[in-house]
Structure 1
Amino acid sequence: MGSKVVSRAEEFSTLLRYLQDDQSSNSCTYEEDIHITKMNGDKLTAVNLYFANQTIFVCEKAVPKIIGLCDGDELNTETLNCTADSDDAEDSCDVLQTEQGPQPLTVMKARQLLSLYTLSQNPGVSAVDNNPILHPLWVRCDRSDPAGTAWFGAEIVCASNKVAGIKLYSITCKGSTVEKKSLVTLEELKQMHKNRHHSSSMGIKGSARFSLFGSTVVENTTIESQSSVTVDFKWSHVESILEIPPLSSTATLNIKVVCGDMRSPMFEMYRELEFLQTLANGLKTGETEWMEPVESTSAVNLTKVYLEELRNMGKTLQDQAAKTVETPKLKQETDPSIFNAFLERGDLDFAEQLWVRMRKSVSSYQDIGDCLKLVIEALRYGDIKPWIHRDSSSSLSKLILQSYHQQIDHVSLTGITPVTMLLEVGLDKMRKDYINYLIGEELTTLNHLYYYLSTEVDLQEQVIRLRKLHHLLEIIVTCGTFLGLPYDRQFVLTQSCLNHYKTSTYDEEHEFKLQIKPALISHFYQKELPIMWGVEISSGQGLREVRTSLQLSDKPLVDHVIFETDFPNETVNGDIDEPAFFSTTMCCSFNSFV
């Protein structure tokens, strides 16, 4: 019997080793009904608390995929074996797949898997090779034991490059409750740790997360927001469960801003950027989905009126420069007082003012060509002498410079030329808008903006870099407007974002981090409920350190269990008087192989 168990352990270890070494595959099946996935620990909320930046194995019940064939054939069920993340089979036909969420194994089965994992790595039982140690193993459990275990985990511990032992983890959880008396006390948690590890000295650390900006609840209705700003606190000397983080805590802002939030002072700039992106997409794909015009007057008529105003001025270029500030405003898409206070410039040149009119009224390629034809004819015949910024780089700006000497190159307004010309003007204008704010607020210098302002790359890349710059400003303005961050923190955040986007792709899901003093945001969190609060008790040193922790959260940290609760899983702190929390407890033990 013993040899069979060891043989099974070695078989299990061989499968894990294969999966660990295979760069093309992230999952496989064991014994037909157990699905094993290789992933980063930060994808699992409960495990993320301790294995955030580490690759782990996750075992769960293999769930069949129900596949409906495109020819109307009968539905069939398939269980996938070791595969890479390939969609080739699905691309060959319109296949409808219905997938369930992750499914747990029984607690007994989970214990068996941990036993196989432990045996296979114990040098006293199995012949452990010199390969790198296996990734930690985590198993989803169905909470069928009295403790309500939702996860079991195991991690190999090495000393001097040799396997020395294993750490075993268990995570138990309870549904939400508003009864504070039902929550474990700090003294009970200490006693739990002491009974398990017989430790005489213990360290205690607290942590908490508060939401500072994001979805809000108004009159029992949740206003969703994809943007969020949370703050993580860490401190020592915890005295009670759910205590408010002291001002001596370390605090880190987690900032994720998705562009297009109508609450943002940047919203009109976002709409302007969307029009610019529409032009770029049209050049790239040949197809354009035009935005709904903001102005009721056609683009051609707006251009005619603008040119007529310039003809009637009869003033010098310098006088025109002063007059442009007084030009009647077009209809704003958002509250103009908010926008004017933030980013609107008073020194728009001729090309930029033309862009403002056209981007709010253009609805076809024909509109663009007709408007530019009117402008070029007015320049060619000397009807207007508009001024432009000296550093303008668009094709239209070059024609305007030529008009000063009555020598204008012939321009064929066919094909993609009109769209390209308008896109260049928009890029020029919006770059100056962003420079105006960043330099004006002394958040950076032109040297640091060179990557974002370069016109030496193609237009598509210029648009991408402009989007990065816009996202950066959305982040800075959100934190400055809604959190009131002081200048020094805005400066540090600006530099962090600039450096990140020089080497990283555009990603609104990226979470930027910023260290901050708790006192700067104390008025935001001291009277609010945390979305997560935790305490960790530890003892032992080095490899033998063990921990017991408690996490209280407004959402469940486990996604494969349905909790019996009077409150929905999405949130439990909407319109109730008392805070309600899901409770998650993690215990750890060290077992030596020596």
Structure 2
Amino acid sequence: MGSKVISKAEEFLNICRSLQEKESSDSCLYEEDIQILKTNGDKIAAVNLYCGNQTVFVCEKAVPKLSEPNDEQGMETISDADDGCDVLQTEQGPQPLTVTKARQLLSLYTLSQNSGVSAVDSSFVLHPLWVRCDMSDPAGTTWFGAEPVSVGNKVTGVKLYSVTCKGSTVDKRSFPTLEELKQEHKKRHNLPSMGVKGNARFSLFGSTVLENTIIESQSSVTVDFKWSHVESVLEDPPLSSTATLNIKVSSGDMRSPMFEMYRELEFLQTLADCLKTGETEWLEPLESTSAVNLTKAYLEELQNTAQTSQDQVAKTAETTKLKSETDPPIFNCFLERGNLDFVEQLWIRLRKSVTSYEDVRDSLKLVIEALRYNDIKPWIHRDSSSSLSKLILQSYHQQIDHVSLTDVTPIIMLLEMGLDKIRKDYINYLIGEELTTLNHLSYFLSTEVDLQEQVVRLRKLHHLLEIIVTCGTFLALPYDRLFLLTQSCLQHYKTSPYDEEREFKLQIKPALISHLYQKEHPVMWGVEVSSGHGPREVRTSFQLSDRPLVDHVVFETDYPNETVNGDTEEPAFFSTMVCCSLVSFT
């Protein structure tokens, strides 16, 4: 019997070792019905508590493909009488193993790492192992974990973890006290000293509740607190805590002061897509007057004026101001510019009215003819780089190159106009607020790359502005924090692709945001009792959260989660307990 177990441990070691060494592979099958995944621990909430910054193995039940004839239909429900909750398993999501099977896998893993078992090559240190469990035991275990403890290249022991969960409740009396958690830790680890640390997360910006309806948002700003000297469960983080903002902002949120700018950028992207695919899905026009008629009216306005260029600049600024008064007031205070030149004002009219390729072509044809016949002498910015701006400069000397408005030329010309205008808008805000310098923006403002890349870089800059404006408007962060956040975003986007799922981090003093979280309920609160040092440190943690930290079970409870932005007096919390045991091989 012993040799059979050792043989299975050796087989398990070889499978895990092969998966660990193959960079191109991230999963494999074991015993046909168990899937072993190789992933990062921070992608799994419960595992992230202990193995967040390292690669781990995750064992779960292999899910048959939908096309297979033996595919299981429907849902399997397992009732847990002790916890009073139901566990719903769906074939689409990750499937847990039985607690008994999970224990067997942990035993094989532990044997494979034990240098005292001569028949097994334990010199190869495996990634930590985590196994999904079905809560079929009285404790309601959702995860088992194992992590090698090494001294040099030699494994001297294994830390074994168990994660148990309970459904949500508003009854705080059901939570263990801090003293009870300490006693639970002492049962497993009879060490002379213990440390206690607290952590909490609050949501500062995200989904909101309006008339009992949750308005979902893809943007979120949360703050993580960490502190020592915890005195009670669910205590408020002290002002001496370390605090880190987690900022994830998606463009297009109608609540954002940048929403109008986003719509402008979307039109720019439409033009860029047209050049790439040859097809255009024109946006719904914001003006009832046609693009051609708006252009004619604008040219006639310029033709009829007898003012000097300087007066025209003043009039342009005044016209811009009057026009922008119809825009959202918050938007005005951030990106309003009073020095829009002729090309920029033409862009504004066209982007709100064009509905076809012909609109663009015919409007530009009117402008070029007016320039050729010297009907207008428009003012433009000195650093304008669009094709139309170059024609205007030529018109000052009554020498205009011939432009054939065929094929994609009109689209290119309009795209260049928009790129020029939006770049100046962004420069105006970032430089005006002293958040960066032109030198640091050179990558994003370069016109040396092709038009598609220029649009990509402008989208990156827009995302940066969405982040900065959100934090400045809704969180009222001071200048020094916004400056650091700007530098962090600029540095990231110089080398990384556009990614709205990216979560930016920012250290902050709790006192700066205390008014935002002290009257709110945490979305997560935890306490950790620890003892020992280095690789032999052992921890017992207790976490409360507004949603479960496991994704392979669904809890049926009588207390729905209604804690969005703290709109209820007594929030319901799910509880998660993680216990650790240290098994020494020597």
1:36 aligns with 2:29: no
- 1:572/1:581 contact within 8 Å kept: no
Give the Cα separation in 1 of the matches to 2:417 and 2:221.
34
Q: Which runs of 5+ in 2 are unaligned?
A: 73-89
Shift of residue 564, structure 1, vs aligned partner = 3.1
**Counterpart AA for 2:47:** V
Which residue of structure 2 aligns with residue 26 of structure 1? 26
1:220 aligns with 2:212: yes
Shift of residue 332, structure 1, vs aligned partner = 6.6
Give the Cα separation in 1 of the matches to 2:498 and 2:325.
26
For residues 349-375 of structure 1, what are the alpha-carbon distances to aligned partners after superposition, in whole Å with 9 as ceiling and x for unaligned?
000000000000011111000000000
**Counterpart AA for 1:63:** V
Give the Cα separation in 2 of the matches to 1:15 and 1:333.
67
Which residue of structure 2 aligns with residue 59 of structure 1? 59
**Counterpart AA for 1:19:** L
For residues 546-575 of structure 1, what are the alpha-carbon distances to aligned partners after superposition, in whole Å with 9 as ceiling and x for unaligned?
000000000000111122311346968876
Shift of residue 193, structure 1, vs aligned partner = 0.3
Please, which of 158, 163, 169 is the counterpart of residue 161 of structure 2?
A: 169
Shift of residue 16, structure 1, vs aligned partner = 0.7
Please, which of 530, 535, 545 is the counterpart of residue 522 of structure 2?
A: 530
Which residue of structure 2 aligns with residue 87 of structure 1? none
Following superposition of structure 1 onto structure 2, how do residues 290-369 of structure 1 map, counting pairs within 5 Å? 290-327=282-319, 335-369=327-361
Give the Cα separation in 2 of the matches to 1:250 and 1:571.
24
- 2:247/2:503 contact within 8 Å kept: yes
- Farther-moved stretch of structure 1 (311-320 vs 583-592): 311-320
Shift of residue 130, structure 1, vs aligned partner = 7.6
Which residue of structure 1 aligns with residue 192 of structure 2? 200
Shift of residue 589, structure 1, vs aligned partner = 1.3
- 1:139/1:151 contact within 8 Å kept: yes
Give the Cα separation in 2 of the matches to 1:372 and 1:111.
73
Give the Cα separation in 2 of the matches to 1:334 and 1:101.
48
Please give the secondary structure, in 2, of the residue aligned with 1:229: strand
- 1:105/1:141 contact within 8 Å kept: yes
1:491 aligns with 2:483: yes
Shift of residue 336, structure 1, vs aligned partner = 3.1
For residues 103-134 of structure 1, what are the alpha-carbon distances to aligned partners after superposition, in whole Å with 9 as ceiling and x for unaligned?
11111110000000111111111455486411
Shift of residue 481, structure 1, vs aligned partner = 0.2
Following superposition of structure 1 onto structure 2, how do residues 411-422 of structure 1 map, counting pairs within 5 Å? 411-422=403-414
Give the Cα separation in 1 of the matches to 2:139 and 2:542.
14
Give the Cα separation in 2 of the matches to 1:363 and 1:305.
18
1:587 aligns with 2:579: yes
**Counterpart AA for 1:139:** V
Please give the secondary structure, in 2, of the residue aligned with 1:564: coil
Following superposition of structure 1 onto structure 2, how do residues 101-180 of structure 1 map, counting pairs within 5 Å? 101-127=93-119, 129=121, 132-180=124-172
Give the Cα separation in 2 of the matches to 1:269 and 1:309.
26
- 2:203/2:523 contact within 8 Å kept: yes
Which residue of structure 1 aligns with residue 387 of structure 2? 395
Give the Cα separation in 2 of the matches to 1:341 and 1:164.
63
Q: 1:418 and 1:572, CA in 2 relative to 1: closer, same or farther beyond 3 A? A: closer
Give the Cα separation in 2 of the matches to 1:502 and 1:297.
41
For residues 69-116 of structure 1, what are the alpha-carbon distances to aligned partners after superposition, in whole Å with 9 as ceiling and x for unaligned?
xxxxxx63479xxxxxxxxxxxxxxxxxx9521111111110000000
Shift of residue 146, structure 1, vs aligned partner = 1.5
For residues 245-281 of structure 1, what are the alpha-carbon distances to aligned partners after superposition, in whole Å with 9 as ceiling and x for unaligned?
0000000000000000000110000000000000000
Give the Cα separation in 2 of the matches to 1:463 and 1:332.
24
1:49 aligns with 2:43: no
Give the Cα separation in 1 of the matches to 2:516 and 2:140.
35
For residues 286-322 of structure 1, what are the alpha-carbon distances to aligned partners after superposition, in whole Å with 9 as ceiling and x for unaligned?
1111100000000000000000000001222222111
Q: 1:334 and 1:122, CA in 2 relative to 1: closer, same or farther beyond 3 A? A: farther
Give the Cα separation in 2 of the matches to 1:23 and 1:131.
20
- 2:102/2:144 contact within 8 Å kept: yes
For residues 157-196 of structure 1, what are the alpha-carbon distances to aligned partners after superposition, in whole Å with 9 as ceiling and x for unaligned?
1102211111111111110111111111100000000111
Please give the secondary structure, in 2, of the residue aligned with 1:48: helix
Which residue of structure 1 aligns with residue 77 of structure 2? none
Give the Cα separation in 2 of the matches to 1:130 and 1:414.
72
Please, which of 274, 277, 283 is the counterpart of residue 275 of structure 2?
A: 283
1:76 aligns with 2:69: yes
Please give the secondary structure, in 2, of the residue aligned with 1:515: strand
Give the Cα separation in 1 of the matches to 2:324 and 2:119.
74
Name the count of aligned residue pairs.
Answer: 569
- 2:185/2:540 contact within 8 Å kept: yes
- 2:320/2:338 contact within 8 Å kept: no
Shift of residue 339, structure 1, vs aligned partner = 1.9
Give the Cα separation in 2 of the matches to 1:498 and 1:477.
15
- Farther-moved stretch of structure 1 (386-395 vs 27-36): 27-36
Give the Cα separation in 1 of the matches to 2:482 and 2:347.
31
Q: 1:132 and 1:452, CA in 2 relative to 1: closer, same or farther beyond 3 A? A: farther
1:425 aligns with 2:412: no
- Farther-moved stretch of structure 1 (325-334 vs 359-368): 325-334
Please give the secondary structure, in 1, of the residue aligned with 2:476: coil
- 1:58/1:138 contact within 8 Å kept: yes
Shift of residue 203, structure 1, vs aligned partner = 0.4
Please, which of 481, 500, 505 is the counterpart of residue 508 of structure 1?
A: 500
RMSD: 1.7
Give the Cα separation in 1 of the matches to 2:339 and 2:565.
49
Give the Cα separation in 1 of the matches to 2:559 and 2:274.
48
- 1:6/1:126 contact within 8 Å kept: no
Shift of residue 20, structure 1, vs aligned partner = 1.0
Give the Cα separation in 1 of the matches to 2:23 and 2:457.
32
For residues 7-30 of structure 1, what are the alpha-carbon distances to aligned partners after superposition, in whole Å with 9 as ceiling and x for unaligned?
000001111111111222211111
Given the two structures, how large is their TM-score scaled by the length of structure 1?
0.93
Shift of residue 448, structure 1, vs aligned partner = 0.5
Shift of residue 149, structure 1, vs aligned partner = 0.8
Give the Cα separation in 2 of the matches to 1:270 and 1:334.
17
- 1:209/1:232 contact within 8 Å kept: yes
Shift of residue 439, structure 1, vs aligned partner = 0.3
